[in-house]
Every structure is written in C-alpha cells, then in structure tokens.
Amino acid sequence: MAHSSPHTLILATESAYKIELLQRLGLPFEACAAHIDEARIPDEAPATMAARLALHKARRVAEDYPDAYVLGADQVIALDQQIFQKPATAERAVAQLMALQGKTHRLITAIALRTPDGAELASECAFEMVMRPLTEPQARAYVEADQPLFCAGSYRIEAGGIRLFEAARGDDFTAIIGLPLTRVWSLLDQAGYLEKL
C-alpha cells in the first residue's frame, strides 16, 4: 500500500489528455492508472455506465492511496442507447464515424472524487454532438489524418475532429476532451480540498 499525505490529489488515469487538462487548474497532483474492467453491464444506460466507471476508477486507486483525494473520470459516447467505445483499428473507427455521421449523439463525461475519509462525490456533464454528413472516403481520410484509434467515437475533438461537427452543445468544453474542469473544481471545493492547500 502506498502512502500519501492528506493533501495529495491523484488523478486515476494514464490518459495524457486528462493529465494535461487537470494541469490547467494549477493544482499539484499525481496520476495513477486505474486498471479496471470497463465492460458495459447488459442494458446499462450510458450515463449510468459513465458514472459507475468513474467511481470504480476512483475507488480502485484509493485502495492503494487511502490518504489521498482520488479523482476518477469516464466518458461514454452514445447514439440513443448504443455505446461507442475505443475502436482500436482503423476499420472500426471508420465504421463508428459512418454510424454517427449526420446524426446527433451524446457525449457523457462523469467524474467521481473519493476523499481520505471515504466520502464520495460525483458529477457529470453531457454534450449534444451534431456530426456533419460524411462519405466513407471522408471518414477514411479523417481517420488516416488524426489516428483516433483510442478515442471513443473515433474522433479527436481537440485536433482535426472539430471539423466533423456542425455543433457541440454543452456548458464545459473541457468535458469533450475528457475532464470537465468546472465540475472538478466544484467537487474539490465541496470536499474541502481547496482549503487544505
């Protein structure tokens, strides 16, 4: 079991995107991967899945760092009740884009904070993502250019993926990249973490 001070903040991820986002808040933190099973429970609603996985990640890392504040996050992309996960291959990425093109899907980002005293706080942020109509050659060209093979939904909105969209409707654009910083700050405030700095 690792030891940490009660002022330690740990982000339960190895995602470079989430790490870079959290750095914007100017808080000292460490990052530690949470190795969990991210499979969907049958018939699980997309928002429920995102919230469950965010909390599971926070709890898993808190087992190793019980004296820290541990922040978990998870993102689910859903078209109605269909969930789109990381494609891993170019072919699957193209197939995902063709399923999403010309439609509006939801991008749900959930966060969970586990405190040293075992309290758990949670929040979520949802965006409506309106994707432009795409031809298969356009989808292939995008996948080749941006290589979004480890991005749910097969797009990197912080890179060239922005051109795939007509609109993105929500209230914290950092949620699209993977970590809604307004919600993170609010949870840390609610938990009393900011008073300890």
Confidence of residue 110 (pLDDT cuts 50, 70, 90): very high
Whole-number Å distance between alpha carbons of 90 and 112: 32
Q: CB neighbours (10 Å) of residue 196? A: 12
Burial class, 53, CB count within 10 angstroms (exposed 0-12 / middle 13-18 / buried 19+)? buried
Domains of the chain listed by start with CATH number: 9-196 (3.90.950.10)
* Token pair listed for 126: 């949802």
Of the residues 74, 80, 146, 171, only one is catalytic, namely 74
67 is catalytic: no
Q: What is the pLDDT of residues 128-166, one digit of tens each?
A: 999 999 999 999 999 999 999 999 899 998 899 999 999
Residues 6+ apart with CB under 8 A from 70: 9, 10, 12, 58, 59, 61, 62, 113, 114
Q: What is the pTM of this model?
A: 0.92
